[in-house]
Structure 1
Amino acid sequence: MDLNSLKRNDLIKELENSGIKDKNVLKAIANVRREEFVLTEFRRLAYDNTSLPISSNQTISQPYTVAFMTELLEIKPGEKILEIGTGSGYQSAVLRELGAEVYSVERIFDLYRSASDKLSKLGYTVHLKNDDGTKGWKEFAPFDKIIVTAGSPKIPKQLLEQLAVNGLMIIPVGDENSQDLYLIRKTYEETQNENPEENLLSETAGDDADNRKVKYMMKRYKNFKFVPLIGEEAWAINN
């Protein structure tokens, strides 16, 4: 067993000790070679449980954060997932290891091109687009799950609209220094809420394609830190 494999095993144990319980998520992270998604000068730190710089002043998320967000989405094989913020491509690879069909949008062209090359080289088939992530990817909506990997001052309406009924979206919301993770569940308005930890986002209620009212239920997880989400429904590019 090589050094990176040993470090990967240690990371998985650390994630388990930190409360990650989903064996499929842990297996997916164990299968992805994180060293391929970091800058050369940080490869020795690839399996430390920390975020690391990548190009274009962005970061690759801490493995715990990737595991936590992925676990909350309860991803099943064959589900159609929209990722906002491809970044290095690491999260996309984890999603593919779980058997999801992944559509990922990246605003920064250099990251989009680099992630495309890396994912292809490693054998991961991901649908990629270079665009404003707050607009989602309407042509392929609705999505079973949506994961946003950058912090936004608000929840983009277009992403909510592109979430399938009974789907889940996770997004960091807050100011530029600190965000809370919002886990949002879209249901029909008449559906009774069985989770006392969820709150109604009444201001985002709308109509689905069948003209039935839908509602969005939200659960919050505090104290995370992400790079800013830049776009039409998030932070301004010069903010």
Structure 2
Amino acid sequence: MILRDLLYALYARRLRRQLAGAAVPGHVALVMDGNRRWAREMGFENPSVGHRYGAEHVEKVLEWCAEAGIRRVTIFVASIDNLHKRGSDEVRFLMEMVERVIAERLANNAGRWQVHLAGDLDELPDSTAHALKIARDTTAERDTDSHLTIAVGYDGREEITEALRSLLDAEAHAGRTLADLAQTLTSADISAHLYTKGQPDPDLVIRTSGERRMSGFLLWQAAYSELYFCDVYWPGFRHVDFLRALRSYDARHRRFGG
């Protein structure tokens, strides 16, 4: 154990040296996948316990982001599909973790992060939506340049649909016709009605658990993001795994679709 810890520390130090002067993503988005599979591997009788360890791990990863100079983070907590298709007991436990571990700690902690929300809060239990709104409102006036967006009750296609609906409604109230809008519509017009309006797109998206797909996460915003897929489950996502993701990002030449 002591030898393994020593080797880990040496490897982490080597990664940090490699990243000295490296290009750091300004905005990292995290798909925190694999909580239940991690719990099964760890021998827990109830795999939903993994959601508690996953929620608690958010604080540690935010510390790593802050240390690396990353000022914007988006975390994908639960999709609309998760809420509809998972068992009621699992969803209830996950929502309790969102309330008690993520929302409450962020609201009560005089830390660096200002909280933003992305998703349809009407899809959540009232207590969860209330806790998230308190975290958002409590941190709104923090004197900080660090921003955390919590994506919960989220679906990228629904977000785009809602953005278009909101845009059409606004244009109609302004007295413009569909023909008028068709002549002038730009991607910026749609972006202005997304859940994440006013926020920069992610530079790097990290997904844990070994899955190689986006699962509807930030479909519009991540069009030109660098993607990094990590084979470890979210609660087991280590500092060296995070540093490897940053090293991979630095090694790529971003072409933004070119």
TM-score by length of 1: 0.32
Larger Rg: 2
Higher RCO (Cα < 8 Å, 6 or more apart): 2
Decide which structure has greater helix share. Answer: 2
Of Structure 1 and Structure 2, which has the larger fraction of its residues in strand?
1
Task: Please report the TM-score for the alignment, with normalisation by the length of structure 2.
Answer: 0.30
